[in-house]
Protein backbone atom coordinates (compact mmCIF):
# COMPACT_ATOMS: atom_id res chain seq x y z
CA UNK A 1 0.00 0.00 0.00
CA UNK A 2 1.30 3.43 -0.93
CA UNK A 3 1.19 6.20 1.66
CA UNK A 4 -1.22 9.08 1.10
CA UNK A 5 1.71 11.51 1.15
CA UNK A 6 3.52 9.65 -1.62
CA UNK A 7 0.30 9.10 -3.56
CA UNK A 8 -0.40 12.84 -3.50
CA UNK A 9 3.16 13.64 -4.56
CA UNK A 10 2.96 11.24 -7.50
CA UNK A 11 -0.42 12.69 -8.45
CA UNK A 12 1.27 16.08 -8.50
CA UNK A 13 3.89 14.63 -10.83
CA UNK A 14 1.14 13.23 -13.07
CA UNK A 15 -0.13 16.80 -13.55
CA UNK A 16 3.45 17.98 -14.18
CA UNK A 17 3.94 15.29 -16.85
CA UNK A 18 0.67 16.32 -18.50
CA UNK A 19 1.83 19.95 -18.45
CA UNK A 20 5.08 18.82 -20.08
CA UNK A 21 3.10 16.97 -22.73
CA UNK A 22 1.07 20.08 -23.45
CA UNK A 23 4.21 22.23 -23.57
CA UNK A 24 5.77 20.01 -26.21
CA UNK A 25 2.53 19.81 -28.18
CA UNK A 26 2.36 23.62 -28.14
CA UNK A 27 5.95 23.70 -29.39
CA UNK A 28 5.01 21.24 -32.14
CA UNK A 29 2.25 23.61 -33.28
CA UNK A 30 4.71 26.52 -33.20
CA UNK A 31 7.26 24.61 -35.28
CA UNK A 32 4.62 23.50 -37.80
CA UNK A 33 3.49 27.12 -38.18
CA UNK A 34 7.09 28.23 -38.72
CA UNK A 35 7.70 25.51 -41.34
CA UNK A 36 9.97 23.31 -39.20
CA UNK A 37 8.11 20.05 -39.69
CA UNK A 38 11.02 17.95 -38.45
CA UNK A 39 11.19 19.78 -35.14
CA UNK A 40 7.39 19.59 -34.97
CA UNK A 41 7.58 15.81 -35.37
CA UNK A 42 10.23 15.59 -32.65
CA UNK A 43 8.07 17.64 -30.28
CA UNK A 44 4.98 15.51 -30.99
CA UNK A 45 6.97 12.41 -30.07
CA UNK A 46 8.22 14.15 -26.93
CA UNK A 47 4.66 15.17 -26.05
CA UNK A 48 3.49 11.57 -26.31
CA UNK A 49 6.41 10.38 -24.21
CA UNK A 50 5.48 12.77 -21.40
CA UNK A 51 1.86 11.67 -21.55
CA UNK A 52 3.04 8.06 -21.34
CA UNK A 53 4.94 8.99 -18.16
CA UNK A 54 1.69 10.30 -16.65
CA UNK A 55 -0.07 7.03 -17.57
CA UNK A 56 2.72 4.94 -16.06
CA UNK A 57 2.59 6.90 -12.83
CA UNK A 58 -1.19 6.61 -12.62
CA UNK A 59 -0.98 2.86 -13.22
CA UNK A 60 1.65 2.55 -10.52
CA UNK A 61 -0.42 4.43 -7.92
CA UNK A 62 -3.43 2.25 -8.67
CA UNK A 63 -1.40 -0.99 -8.49
CA UNK A 64 -0.16 0.10 -5.07
CA UNK A 65 -3.74 0.52 -3.83
CA UNK A 66 -3.86 4.29 -4.16
CA UNK A 67 -6.05 6.66 -6.10
CA UNK A 68 -4.65 8.27 -9.23
CA UNK A 69 -5.96 11.76 -9.91
CA UNK A 70 -5.67 14.28 -12.68
CA UNK A 71 -4.91 17.61 -11.07
CA UNK A 72 -5.09 21.04 -12.60
CA UNK A 73 -2.90 21.47 -15.65
CA UNK A 74 -2.01 25.12 -16.19
CA UNK A 75 -1.86 26.81 -19.57
CA UNK A 76 1.45 26.43 -21.41
CA UNK A 77 3.36 29.03 -23.45
CA UNK A 78 2.28 29.37 -27.07
CA UNK A 79 5.22 30.98 -28.86
CA UNK A 80 8.98 31.29 -28.88
CA UNK A 81 11.34 33.69 -30.61
CA UNK A 82 13.33 31.06 -32.48
CA UNK A 83 14.06 27.33 -32.64
CA UNK A 84 17.05 27.96 -30.37
CA UNK A 85 14.84 29.69 -27.81
CA UNK A 86 12.34 26.81 -27.89
CA UNK A 87 15.04 24.22 -27.28
CA UNK A 88 16.59 26.32 -24.52
CA UNK A 89 13.16 26.23 -22.86
CA UNK A 90 13.07 22.45 -23.38
CA UNK A 91 16.43 22.06 -21.66
CA UNK A 92 15.44 24.29 -18.74
CA UNK A 93 12.16 22.43 -18.40
CA UNK A 94 13.83 19.01 -18.41
CA UNK A 95 16.17 20.20 -15.64
CA UNK A 96 13.10 21.27 -13.68
CA UNK A 97 11.43 17.88 -14.20
CA UNK A 98 14.60 16.19 -13.00
CA UNK A 99 14.38 18.16 -9.76
CA UNK A 100 10.74 17.11 -9.37
CA UNK A 101 11.58 13.42 -9.88
CA UNK A 102 14.50 13.75 -7.45
CA UNK A 103 12.07 15.19 -4.92
CA UNK A 104 9.79 12.18 -5.38
CA UNK A 105 12.76 9.90 -4.83
CA UNK A 106 13.69 11.77 -1.66
CA UNK A 107 10.15 11.31 -0.38
CA UNK A 108 10.14 7.60 -1.26
CA UNK A 109 13.41 7.20 0.66
CA UNK A 110 11.99 9.13 3.61
CA UNK A 111 8.88 6.93 3.54
CA UNK A 112 11.09 3.82 3.21
CA UNK A 113 9.00 2.79 0.21
CA UNK A 114 11.42 0.62 -1.75
CA UNK A 115 8.98 -0.36 -4.53
CA UNK A 116 8.45 3.32 -5.30
CA UNK A 117 12.19 3.93 -5.23
CA UNK A 118 12.65 1.13 -7.76
CA UNK A 119 9.82 2.51 -9.89
CA UNK A 120 11.31 6.01 -9.90
CA UNK A 121 14.77 4.87 -11.04
CA UNK A 122 13.36 4.38 -14.55
CA UNK A 123 12.33 8.03 -14.65
CA UNK A 124 15.62 9.23 -13.22
CA UNK A 125 17.53 7.39 -15.96
CA UNK A 126 15.19 8.80 -18.61
CA UNK A 127 15.68 12.32 -17.26
CA UNK A 128 19.45 12.02 -17.68
CA UNK A 129 18.84 11.16 -21.34
CA UNK A 130 16.24 13.87 -21.87
CA UNK A 131 18.48 16.57 -20.37
CA UNK A 132 21.44 15.40 -22.44
CA UNK A 133 19.39 15.33 -25.64
CA UNK A 134 17.96 18.82 -25.10
CA UNK A 135 21.37 20.21 -24.15
CA UNK A 136 22.89 18.58 -27.22
CA UNK A 137 20.32 20.14 -29.53
CA UNK A 138 20.90 23.58 -28.00
CA UNK A 139 24.67 23.16 -28.39
CA UNK A 140 24.33 22.03 -32.01
CA UNK A 141 22.14 24.98 -32.93
CA UNK A 142 24.53 27.42 -31.23
CA UNK A 143 27.63 25.91 -32.87
CA UNK A 144 26.15 25.44 -36.32
CA UNK A 145 24.21 28.70 -36.59
CA UNK A 146 20.99 29.51 -38.37
CA UNK A 147 21.93 27.81 -41.64
CA UNK A 148 22.20 24.47 -39.88
CA UNK A 149 18.72 24.72 -38.38
CA UNK A 150 17.21 23.40 -41.59
CA UNK A 151 19.54 20.39 -41.60
CA UNK A 152 18.78 19.70 -37.94
CA UNK A 153 15.06 20.06 -38.67
CA UNK A 154 15.32 17.25 -41.22
CA UNK A 155 17.42 15.12 -38.89
CA UNK A 156 15.05 15.41 -35.91
CA UNK A 157 12.09 14.79 -38.21
CA UNK A 158 13.30 11.20 -38.50
CA UNK A 159 12.57 10.49 -34.81
CA UNK A 160 10.43 7.40 -34.47
Q: Average pLDDT per run of 10 along the chain, which is 160 residues long? A: 97 98 98 94 97 98 97 96 96 98 98 98 95 94 78 72
pLDDT at 8: 98
How many domains is the chain partitioned into structurally? 1
Rounded to 10°, the helix 83-110/4-34 angle is 170
Domain range enclosing 49: 4-156
Query: For 35-113, where are the alpha helices, taking DSSP H only?
Result: 37-63, 83-110
CATH number for the domain harbouring residue 137:
1.20.1260.10
Amino acid sequence: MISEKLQDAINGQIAAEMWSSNLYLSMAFYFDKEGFTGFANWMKKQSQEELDHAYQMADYVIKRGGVAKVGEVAVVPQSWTSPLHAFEVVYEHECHVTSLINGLMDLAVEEKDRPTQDFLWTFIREQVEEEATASGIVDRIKKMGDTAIFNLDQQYGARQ
